[in-house]
Structure 1
Amino acid sequence: MKLETLDIAIAGAGMGGLSLGAMLAARGAKVTVYDQMTAPQPVGSGFVLQPTGQAVLSAMGLLDEAGARGAKIFRMHGRLAGQNGEAGRTVLEIGYGKDRQGQDGHGIAIQRVALFDILLKAATDAGVRFETSSRAVEVMPGERPVICLEGGRKAPAADLVIDAMGAGSPIGHDPAKELGYGALWATVPWPVEAPAEDTFHPNELEQRYERATRMAGVLPVGTAGEGAAPMATFFWSLRNRDIDRWRAEGRQAWIEAVAKLWPEAARFAEIAEPVHARYRHHTRKPVAGRNVLRIGDAWHATSPQLGQGANMALLDAASLVTALMRSKTREEAIRLHLSQRQMHIRLYQLLSLVLTPYYQSDSRILPLLRDLMIAPVTRMPVIRGLVSRLVTGDVLDPIGRIGILRS
């Protein structure tokens, strides 16, 4: 199919919507992105671009820029909270191993605003049109589907409509049930003085646990742009039902709780301006009607425990582009796209559903099993390699199934 003949409407200017728009427009499609914001802007803190997400950015010619802004991550290291503020034993240690070229594999931890800016520029340069202050509330499917906007307006008909509005998308489905635990997230200055360098590693995601009810993490995420200071993402797990009590108790009580769990991290709580994030777990039908598709969290949302959210959205976008390029009709392209993505998505949705309670839940038994059984097993060479592939998102070879094409 010639992409030059397609008119694509995308609801949502997140990572999936922007990357899809940029790739389609770069190949000649007419693309319009509708977003509820008054101007396109990112939502959220930092995250890790896994090798799967990196492969998509490489195909778009954007990986070097993302790498220059982000921080290389070679290991994820989690320890129990010990006595008197000391670190307890290691219960999570995952490295990246070697990539397919025999080089040291790694993730790229990056601020969401940094990757957003990169993708927004790529989309704008490719000719994507943006309609801001335009919240999609429903879609009328058909041969030429139409996005219905808040206030009774309707967008022009398109050949394909893409729902990239995330887990809370209002298009064509009931709201998903929230998970019991969310998290407080904050972007804070990365400590560069000598004592901090001895405390926090610049190439690791570090975490502390108290059973599964409390978890804190520190992730170096590089710079927002050229000349900007290096930053870190600090996160703190929290039951959603406890957020009002957390606010009522005040900052000092939180700082003291952080200091008790992880004394060295209390400095982050002291300067943080945290945002409370809630999570959902769902796998919805990817086809929302004739010529209407969902990508990213609008299709498949999970907790952040496996760190795959943004990477999955990038894979969905790349898959749809390659399917459209290789197919003669839209119907054929949709079938090919689903065959390329569904197995990988189902696996990671299942793994997330099973593993999340070991790290965020009120259970006393599951974290005990995690610490006494799962952690030692993952240190075995064969299992360690499998877990590494799991974290990188490479299980079932999603990149090979998509066959990503370079711009």
Structure 2
Amino acid sequence: MKIDGLEVAIAGAGIGGLSLATMLARGGAKVVVYDQMEAPQPVGSGFVLQPTGLAILKAMGLFDAIAARGQVITRMHGALAGGSSGPGKTVLEISYPVDGHGIAIQRVALFDLLLSAAIASGVRFETNARTTGIIEGKRPALTLDGGRATPSADLVVDAMGASSPIGHDPAKELNYGALWATVPWPENGPFHPHELEQRYERASHMAGVLPVGTARDGAAPMATFFWSLRNREIEAWRNAGRDAWLERVNALWPQAVPLAEVAEPVHARYRHHTRKPVAGCGVIRIGDAWHATSPQLGQGANMAMIDAASLFLALARAPSIDEAFALHLRQRGPHVWLYQTLSVVLTPFYQSDSRILPAMRDIAIGPTTRMPLVRQLVSRLVTGDFLSPIKRIGLEEL
């Protein structure tokens, strides 16, 4: 169908919303993004852009800027707590193919680049506009806080994430969340500059360190430090104070104490759901609004960008919005289903109250992931390339 002149309303100025808005605006669509913030801004710390997400950014002409700000990641390594002597037994070992890698980046850095691209493409923004629902019809619209309705559009996109208020499908909150903080990267410290490193005590305690590059040109390199925490324990953690937390960090991973000492952590909660992607006539969900998971597989931002590219390409190829939705779901459905299933199956091995599952992990998963054939399979799973989502959406046409 013709993208030029298409009127689009997108709820949510996150990674998926900004990516889709930019693609559509570059194709000639009239795009308005509605966001509840006073000004568009990122939420969250750092993450790894996998080869799938990087392929989208390359097609958008943003890869070089991302590479300049991010940090190349070639390995993910998880080990049991080993005390001051170093890491204990390896329970997670994932390396990229010889010619592949991820790029770890601060969310603010990716957000700023996507926001600049959207503005340059002619995307309009309406801030202080909290979406509360949709008005269905041949030309749907959004309802905003206070009862105000947006102008009707040809296409409405819910890109508001796991807590989106559109629809009535409940999202299951997971028992575990995490404390996230962006901290200065210790240049001469004990951490590898091209690895995501994690430490575990059973599945109830986990910490991680990820080098995430610079927020902007000339800025100092930073790291993301994260600490697994049961959601019901967040108030107890706050009341106990920093010294008590530092003692706990020291017991799990002494080398990470200097990061925790300067951290200003933010508590993040996670949900798991797979909602119906089509929320009404001309209304569709992308990213976590459609398929939210735990952060264990690290696919959230990458999946949102693939969704955005798939929907844009489907709209360009199909003769109508309904047929574009159907094509988009054929392109994305199998990949989404696979990673939703993997999240449910694998998360309890690394983040749960179980004693049996982490014992099985320590005995079987760690050694198994070092076997050549299994390592190749696991690498494809973690890098998001299983079922070839980029090939399925025909990205070369973007």
Whether the TM-score (by the shorter chain) exceeds 0.5 is yes
The whole-number CA distance in structure 1 between the counterparts of 2:154 and 2:396 is: 22
Whether 1:256 and 2:251 are equivalent positions in the alignment is: no
Whether 1:183 and 2:178 are equivalent positions in the alignment is: yes
| Alignment map for 1:87-126 (pairs within 5 Å) | 87-98=87-98, 104-126=99-121
Instruction: Judge conservation of contact 2:83–2:253 (CA < 8 Å) in 1.
Output: no
TM-score (norm 2): 0.99
The whole-number CA distance in structure 1 between the counterparts of 2:83 and 2:212 is: 29
Change (3 A) 1:307 1:406: same
| Aligned position for 1:53 | 53
Whether 1:331 and 2:326 are equivalent positions in the alignment is: no
Give the deviation of 1:405 after TM superposition.
Answer: 3.9
The whole-number CA distance in structure 1 between the counterparts of 2:85 and 2:303 is: 37
The whole-number CA distance in structure 2 between the counterparts of 1:219 and 1:371 is: 22
Whether 1:222 and 2:213 are equivalent positions in the alignment is: yes
The whole-number CA distance in structure 2 between the counterparts of 1:151 and 1:83 is: 54
Give the deviation of 1:406 after TM superposition.
Answer: 5.6
| Alignment map for 1:309-388 (pairs within 5 Å) | 309-388=300-379
For residue 74 of structure 1, what is the amino acid of its counterpart? T
Deviation sequence 1:158-214 (CA, Å, 0-9, x none):
00100000000001124412100000000000011x3x1xx1000000000000000
Whether 1:43 and 2:43 are equivalent positions in the alignment is: yes
The whole-number CA distance in structure 2 between the counterparts of 1:353 and 1:396 is: 18
| Aligned position for 1:151 | 146
Instruction: Judge conservation of contact 2:36–2:127 (CA < 8 Å) in 1.
Output: yes
Give the deviation of 1:64 after TM superposition.
Answer: 0.9
Report the aligned-residue RMSD: 0.9
Give the deviation of 1:40 after TM superposition.
Answer: 0.2
Give the deviation of 1:2 after TM superposition.
Answer: 1.3
For residue 145 of structure 2, what is the amino acid of its counterpart? E
For residue 30 of structure 1, what is the amino acid of its counterpart? K
Give the deviation of 1:142 after TM superposition.
Answer: 1.8
| Alignment map for 1:189-338 (pairs within 5 Å) | 189-192=184-187, 194=188, 196=189, 199-338=190-329
Change (3 A) 1:267 1:83: closer
- Give SS of 2:381's match: helix
Instruction: Judge conservation of contact 2:8–2:31 (CA < 8 Å) in 1.
Output: yes
Give the deviation of 1:377 after TM superposition.
Answer: 1.2
The whole-number CA distance in structure 2 between the counterparts of 1:185 and 1:19 is: 24
The whole-number CA distance in structure 1 between the counterparts of 2:167 and 2:81 is: 44
| Aligned position for 1:140 | 135
The whole-number CA distance in structure 1 between the counterparts of 2:269 and 2:291 is: 15
Instruction: Judge conservation of contact 1:91–1:370 (CA < 8 Å) in 2.
Output: yes
For residue 229 of structure 1, what is the amino acid of its counterpart? A
| Aligned position for 1:101 | none
| Aligned position for 1:17 | 17
The whole-number CA distance in structure 2 between the counterparts of 1:87 and 1:405 is: 43
For residue 61 of structure 1, what is the amino acid of its counterpart? G
- Give SS of 2:89's match: strand
For residue 111 of structure 2, what is the amino acid of its counterpart? F
TM-score (norm 1): 0.96
For residue 191 of structure 1, what is the amino acid of its counterpart? P
For residue 115 of structure 1, what is the amino acid of its counterpart? L
Deviation sequence 1:118-149 (CA, Å, 0-9, x none):
00000000000000000110001221001000
For residue 162 of structure 2, what is the amino acid of its counterpart? A
Runs of 4+ in 1 over 3 A off after TM superposition: 83-86
- Give SS of 1:281's match: strand
Corresponding pairs, count: 398
Give the deviation of 1:404 after TM superposition.
Answer: 1.1
- Give SS of 1:127's match: coil
For residue 395 of structure 1, what is the amino acid of its counterpart? F
Deviation sequence 1:18-62 (CA, Å, 0-9, x none):
000000001101100000001000000000000000000011000
The whole-number CA distance in structure 2 between the counterparts of 1:405 and 1:37 is: 34
The whole-number CA distance in structure 2 between the counterparts of 1:141 and 1:387 is: 43
Q: Percent identity?
A: 70
| Aligned position for 2:388 | 397
- Give SS of 1:344's match: helix
Instruction: Judge conservation of contact 1:85–1:262 (CA < 8 Å) in 2.
Output: no
Unaligned runs of 5+ in 1: 99-103
Give the deviation of 1:83 after TM superposition.
Answer: 4.9
Instruction: After superposing the two structures, state which structure 1 stretch, 250-259 or 167-176, moved more.
Output: 167-176
Unaligned runs of 5+ in 2: none
| Aligned position for 1:164 | 159
Instruction: Judge conservation of contact 1:85–1:263 (CA < 8 Å) in 2.
Output: no
Instruction: Judge conservation of contact 2:83–2:254 (CA < 8 Å) in 1.
Output: no
For residue 67 of structure 2, what is the amino acid of its counterpart? G
Instruction: Judge conservation of contact 1:77–1:94 (CA < 8 Å) in 2.
Output: yes
Give the deviation of 1:84 after TM superposition.
Answer: 5.5
The whole-number CA distance in structure 1 between the counterparts of 2:5 and 2:84 is: 66
Give the deviation of 1:82 after TM superposition.
Answer: 2.0
